[in-house]
Structure 1
Amino acid sequence: MSPPILSLRGVRKSFGPTEIIRGVDLDVQAGERHALIGPNGAGKSTLFHLISGNLAPSAGSIVFDGQAIAGWSPQRINRRGLGRSFQITNIFPKLTVFENVRIAAMQRDGVQYTFWRRIEGLASIRARTQALLEQVRLQARATTLAGELSYSEQRSLELAMTLACDPKLVLLDEPMAGMSTEETQYTLELIHAVTAGRALLLVEHDMEVVFSLADRISVLVYGQVIATGTPDEIRNHQGVREAYLGEEVAA
């Protein structure tokens, strides 16, 4: 088997005397969809911050695409091929949908705006922006201000911005939070389509989404991974049922 695209070993994170992440080992294989689940306060978002460079671990190693990245800046990790979305939508509401995605595409190509070089003249970036909007089904909303989109459309826009760096690994933090059943189904199908061929690490509380999307699931409880396995293995894991899923959900 090829080495994992992401590998964590003995990762710990403390804030003063309080240890939030307590020796996490986790592997994500290239091309797999891997879900990270656990109760509120388990440390899921903190672990995402450690992987994406928003926080540095107190101990342990994080290897992404063959490189030890612990302590790297988020920008450097992003350029290595890791794209991330957040729990709270992270867009520019006063810019159009097209402009939001174009900014992300410019960052991927290392392009910055200068007064002597019009952005509109960069044909490759414009073409990539249009392709991303088509991929997330927002081409008809290209000229709409991002702040005027529905909530699910804003999450789709953020997904396009995440994909703009052409990531090898996509991190999605609760992408279905606050959505209706219809919006959840739409977003689930979208994520399934746009992450094809990429590795995905997903934090999500909707168990129907997790069990239908993930190839493997890891369960984080009080800062430790207590189980990793296929959806069926996690459903039938007694420790997981007792710590998180509960008998009714697991059944």
Structure 2
Amino acid sequence: MSDPILRLEGVHKSFGPAHIIRGVDLEVRRGERHAVIGPNGAGKSTLFHLCSGEFAPSSGRILLDGQEIGGMKPAEVNCRGLARSFQITNIFPGISVFENLRLAVMRKHGLQFTFWRRVSRLDNVTQEVEGLIERLRLGHRAHTLASQLSYSEQRSLEIGMTLASDPKVILLDEPMAGMSQEETEYTVGLIREIAEDRTLLIVEHDMSVVFSLADRISVLVYGEMIATGTPKEIRENPQVKEAYLGEEVAA
């Protein structure tokens, strides 16, 4: 059993009188694909905001590789090795696939404000971008404007921009939202490939995707983590079926 790379200990988050996250404990093991599921309003997005630095916890600890990150700004969390893609595609639509990825790679190297050198001469950056494009299966779209990509290709590009920072942990927030069956199958295959040497924490509503992709699943209901286990254990857990999954997964 591998050691946890991301750990939440007794994490609470309140907004005034509203208690959204209620004492969550969570361990994400190094190198695993870990899914968080739960009904609408369970607090899944808030949990992701806490891990990635958009929100600070009201109490409790969030540890990345043993170091406290709770309350850090998103840029600081990213520098520590955690990167996130969002529910809504977050790319630059008016520039090409190659240019989007080049900006992301330059940022990793602290070169985003390099005004005195032609970016075309940054050979190491170009090589990294070309490698990313091939991993994303977007080689044939390298010089296409991001706005002209299909929806699944845009999500692939966003995942690539997340990968560009070379993170230890990747958070994917509903990567299959709004996709057709064909687009979902394409994206699941891509995620399997990119997650081979990474730790992945994913929120996703498509249960067929969750149960086929995740090594372990945690179930969040009304801000509380009610179960964590393998897909088989979660599928057979009577408390989970009563609170969330119902007969859909049992079938």
Distance 1:17 1:210, change over 3 A: same
Inter-partner Cα distance in structure 2 for 1:112 and 1:87:
25
AA of the residue aligned to 1:101: L
Residue deviations 1:5-26 (CA, integer Å, cap 9, x gap): 0000110101111010010000
Residue 13 (structure 1) aligned with residue 13 (structure 2): yes
CA drift of 1:166 comes to 0.9
Q: Which secondary structure state, in structure 1, belongs to the residue aligned with residue 175 of structure 2?
A: coil
Inter-partner Cα distance in structure 1 for 2:180 and 2:248:
23
Inter-partner Cα distance in structure 2 for 1:2 and 1:33:
12
CA drift of 1:70 comes to 0.7
Residue 240 (structure 1) aligned with residue 231 (structure 2): no
Residue deviations 1:22-55 (CA, integer Å, cap 9, x gap): 1000000000000000001100000000000011
Query: Residue 184 of structure 2 aligns with which residue?
Result: 184
Inter-partner Cα distance in structure 1 for 2:23 and 2:250:
26
CA drift of 1:2 comes to 4.7
Runs of 5+ consecutive residues of structure 2 not aligned to the other structure: none
CA drift of 1:250 comes to 2.0
Q: Which secondary structure state, in structure 2, belongs to the residue aligned with residue 201 of structure 1?
A: strand
Residue 98 (structure 1) aligned with residue 122 (structure 2): no
Query: Residue 194 of structure 1 aligns with which residue?
Result: 194
Query: Residue 107 of structure 1 aligns with which residue?
Result: 107
- For the aligned residue pairs, the C-alpha RMSD in angstroms reads 0.9
Residue 145 (structure 1) aligned with residue 145 (structure 2): yes
Residue 211 (structure 1) aligned with residue 214 (structure 2): no
Inter-partner Cα distance in structure 2 for 1:15 and 1:103:
35
Residue deviations 1:82-134 (CA, integer Å, cap 9, x gap): 11100000000011111111111111111123332111111111110110010
Inter-partner Cα distance in structure 1 for 2:95 and 2:55:
29
Matches within 5 A, 1:1-251: 1-251=1-251
Inter-partner Cα distance in structure 2 for 1:179 and 1:208:
13
4+ long deviations beyond 4 Å: none
CA contact (8 A) 1:113 1:119 kept: no
AA of the residue aligned to 1:54: E
Inter-partner Cα distance in structure 2 for 1:77 and 1:33:
20
Q: Which secondary structure state, in structure 1, belongs to the residue aligned with residue 124 of structure 2?
A: helix
TM-score, normalised via structure 2 length: 0.98
Inter-partner Cα distance in structure 2 for 1:113 and 1:94:
20
TM-score, normalised via structure 1 length: 0.98
Inter-partner Cα distance in structure 1 for 2:161 and 2:114:
22
Residue deviations 1:195-219 (CA, integer Å, cap 9, x gap): 1021100000001100001000000
Inter-partner Cα distance in structure 2 for 1:44 and 1:250:
23
AA of the residue aligned to 1:157: L
Inter-partner Cα distance in structure 2 for 1:61 and 1:8:
6
Inter-partner Cα distance in structure 2 for 1:38 and 1:174:
12
CA drift of 1:65 comes to 1.2
Moved more, 73-82 or 22-31: 73-82
AA of the residue aligned to 1:16: G
AA of the residue aligned to 1:203: V
Inter-partner Cα distance in structure 2 for 1:221 and 1:94:
40
Moved more, 182-191 or 2-11: 2-11
Runs of 5+ consecutive residues of structure 1 not aligned to the other structure: none
Inter-partner Cα distance in structure 1 for 2:112 and 2:35:
35
Aligned residues: 251
Q: Which secondary structure state, in structure 1, belongs to the residue aligned with residue 4 of structure 2?
A: coil
AA of the residue aligned to 2:30: A
Residue deviations 1:175-211 (CA, integer Å, cap 9, x gap): 0000000110110011001110211000000011000
Tell me the percent identity: 67
